[in-house]
């Protein structure tokens, strides 16, 4: 049965469910090897770096799982333009093909203008060579267009979960936290011409295997170019973290399960979507020291090394045990390059590493 499914070119929902429920170690290894071979065929044995700049923990939203949510009592920081540009300069000099700008969500005019200027300045300092991915939450179509015109060309907006019930359970029930708004934003980004990324959190309380399969079907239905997903990791001072810890649902066994689900999601998404970019996210490493290597071996091809200035890393903790918090960007570069080489891949230095899916679809228009 497993061999038959792995040899099919087009999988259906029941195949995805079968794969999602695998538990036997040999079966799982077979799945991961197949996913790696699909990556090799459609992408090559290359990983691309997106230097991650987490420039502010100010957020207007209150997602129940996130360590920098509005109600969190921590001190807030926002980096200056000069600080952000110094990190982009470092990424350029170190031949990272792209940077990713990430922050809590804000949509006031001052912020929108600030980001517009930053995008233009990053393009200028790198002679337009650094690719720019944005991960700045829900914005108006006009704002997305402004940032695209300024030079950003990829946007990552996780849907978090496509289950309506689960989405409601993990967010406050108000207009600011709407699943439909997020779907509309993904449509707007696509219409403007961004390479569009989305993803989900894996192993959320009460999330089922079928929910995760539906998430993968959603990626296909929305013709998504890039996937950035990872396991849910507890932050002990958040409403969801408190609930999970109170119910004793964050044991080593539970964490290992969530980690395995995270790797399975990467592999099954690679089998199903084939030519999209898929990130091995930092959250994988928060649950397993070899998390990102195992992600690459199961079909991921993007890594997002944190290049945030060290003094700000403590202030940007979405979850507990964030990896690399005490490292500087030079150490992260050496460490991650070693991780890529250890699985037999190469790093695509100074290349954008755009999603082949995006290129194929636009050439065929």
Q: Where does this chain bind ligand SF4 (CB under 6 A)?
A: 59, 61, 63, 66, 68-69, 104-105, 137
Query: Are the beta carbons of 289 and 57 closer than 8 angstroms?
Result: no
| Cβ nearer to ligand SF4, comparing 63 with 212 | 63
In the numeric block, the tokens 């967010």 are attached to: 171
Minimal distance in Å, beta carbon 157 to ligand SAM?
A: 6
Q: According to the binding rule CB under 6 A, does residue 66 interact with ligand SAM? A: yes
| Cβ nearer to ligand SF4, comparing 63 with 224 | 63
Pairing of strands 195-198, 226-227: parallel
For residues 196 and 206, give the distance between their C-alpha atoms in angstroms, rounded to a whole number. 28
Applying CB under 6 A, the site for ligand SAM has a residue count of 18
Minimal distance in Å, beta carbon 105 to ligand SF4?
A: 4
Minimal distance in Å, beta carbon 313 to ligand SF4?
A: 15
Binding partner selected for residue 19 from ligand SAM, ligand SF4, none, CB under the kind-specific 5 to 8 Å limit:
none
Minimal distance in Å, beta carbon 340 to ligand SF4?
A: 28
Out of 158, 171, 177, 270, the only residue in the binding site for ligand SAM (CB under 6 A) is 158
Out of 278, 283, 294, 347, the only residue in the binding site for ligand SAM (CB under 6 A) is 283
Binding partner selected for residue 69 from ligand SF4, ligand SAM, none, CB under the kind-specific 5 to 8 Å limit:
ligand SF4
Q: Build a one-symbol-per-residue string for 245-264: x at contacts with ligand SAM by CB under 6 A, - elsewhere.
A: --------------------
Binding partner selected for residue 135 from ligand SAM, ligand SF4, none, CB under the kind-specific 5 to 8 Å limit:
ligand SAM
Binding partner selected for residue 339 from ligand SF4, ligand SAM, none, CB under the kind-specific 5 to 8 Å limit:
none
Q: Residue 175 class from Cβ within 10 Å (0-12 exposed, 13-18 middle, 19+ buried)?
A: exposed
| Cβ nearer to ligand SAM, comparing 2 with 261 | 261
| Cβ nearer to ligand SAM, comparing 104 with 151 | 104
SS3 of the chain: the string is: CHHHHHHCCCCCHHHHHHHHCCCCHHHHHHHHHHHHHHHHHHCCCEEEEEEEEEEECCCCCCCCCCCCCCCCCCCCCECCHHHHHHHHHHHHHCCCCEEEEEECCCCCHHHHHHHHHHHHHHHHHCCCCCEEEEECCCCCHHHHHHHHHHCCCEEECCCECCCHHHHHHHCCCCCCCCHHHHHHHHHHHHHHCCEEEECEEECCCCCCHHHHHHHHHHHHHCCCCEECCEECCCCCCCHHHHHHHHCCCCCHHHHHHHHHHHHHHHHHHHHHHCCCEEECCHHHHHHCCCHHHHHHHCCCCEECCECCCHHHHCCCCCCCCCCCCCCCHHHHHHHHHHHHHHCCCEECCCCCCCCHHHHHHHHCC
- What torsion do the CA atoms of 208, 272, 350, 362 make, to the nearest 10 degrees? -120
Minimal distance in Å, beta carbon 219 to ligand SF4?
A: 19
Q: Build a one-symbol-per-residue string for 117-156: x at contacts with ligand SAM by CB under 6 A, - elsewhere.
A: ------------------x-x-------------------
Binding partner selected for residue 186 from ligand SF4, ligand SAM, none, CB under the kind-specific 5 to 8 Å limit:
none
Q: According to the binding rule CB under 6 A, does residue 275 interact with ligand SAM? A: no
Minimal distance in Å, beta carbon 34 to ligand SAM?
A: 27
Binding partner selected for residue 55 from ligand SAM, ligand SF4, none, CB under the kind-specific 5 to 8 Å limit:
none
Considering only the stretches 38-46, 170-178, 232-240, 287-295, report the one whose residues sit in contact with ligand SAM under the rule CB under 6 A.
232-240
For residues 103 and 81, give the distance between their C-alpha atoms in angstroms, rounded to a whole number. 14
Residues 315-334 that bind ligand SAM (CB under 6 A): 318-319
For residues 209 and 360, give the distance between their C-alpha atoms in angstroms, rounded to a whole number. 31
Which positions lie near ligand SAM, rule CB under 6 A? 65-66, 102, 104-105, 135, 137, 157-158, 160, 201, 230, 232-233, 235, 283, 318-319
């Amino acid at each position: 049965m497993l061999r038959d499914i792995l040899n099919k070119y087009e999988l259906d929902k029941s195949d995805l469910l079968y794969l999602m429920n695998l538990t036997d170690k040999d079966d799982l290894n077979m799945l991961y090897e197949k996913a790696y071979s699909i990556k090799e065929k459609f992408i090559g044995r290359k990983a691309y770096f997106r230097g991650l700049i987490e420039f502010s923990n100010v957020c207007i939203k209150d997602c129940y799982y996130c360590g920098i949510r509005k109600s969190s009592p921590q001190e807030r920081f926002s980096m200056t333009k000069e600080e952000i540009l110094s990190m982009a300069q470092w990424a350029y000099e170190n031949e990272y093909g792209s940077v990713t700008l990430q922050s809590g969500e804000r949509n006031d005019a001052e912020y929108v203008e600030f980001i517009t200027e930053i995008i233009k300045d990053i393009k200028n300092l790198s002679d337009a060579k650094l690719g720019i991915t944005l991960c700045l939450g829900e914005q108006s179509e006009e704002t997305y267009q402004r940032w695209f015109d300024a030079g950003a060309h990829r946007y990552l907006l996780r849907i978090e979960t496509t289950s309506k019930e689960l989405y409601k359970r993990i967010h406050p029930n108000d207009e600011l936290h709407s699943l439909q708004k997020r779907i509309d934003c993904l449509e707007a980004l696509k219409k403007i011409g961004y390479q569009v990324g989305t993803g989900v959190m894996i192993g959320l309380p009460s999330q089922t295997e079928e929910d995760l399969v539906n998430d993968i079907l959603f990626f296909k239905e929305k013709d998504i170019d890039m996937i950035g997903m990872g396991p849910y990791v507890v932050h002990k001072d958040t409403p969801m973290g408190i609930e999970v810890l109170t119910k004793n649902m964050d044991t080593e066994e539970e964490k290992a399960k969530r980690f395995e689900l995270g790797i399975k999601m990467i592999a099954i998404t690679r089998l199903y979507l084939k030519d999209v970019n898929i990130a091995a996210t930092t959250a994988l490493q928060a649950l397993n020291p070899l998390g990102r290597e195992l992600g690459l071996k199961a079909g991921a091809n993007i890594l997002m090394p944190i290049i945030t200035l060290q003094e700000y890393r403590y202030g940007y903790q979405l979850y507990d045990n964030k990896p690399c918090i005490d490292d500087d960007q030079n150490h992260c570069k050496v460490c991650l390059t070693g991780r890529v080489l250890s699985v037999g891949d190469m790093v695509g230095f100074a290349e954008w590493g755009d999603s082949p899916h995006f290129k194929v679809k636009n050439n065929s228009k």
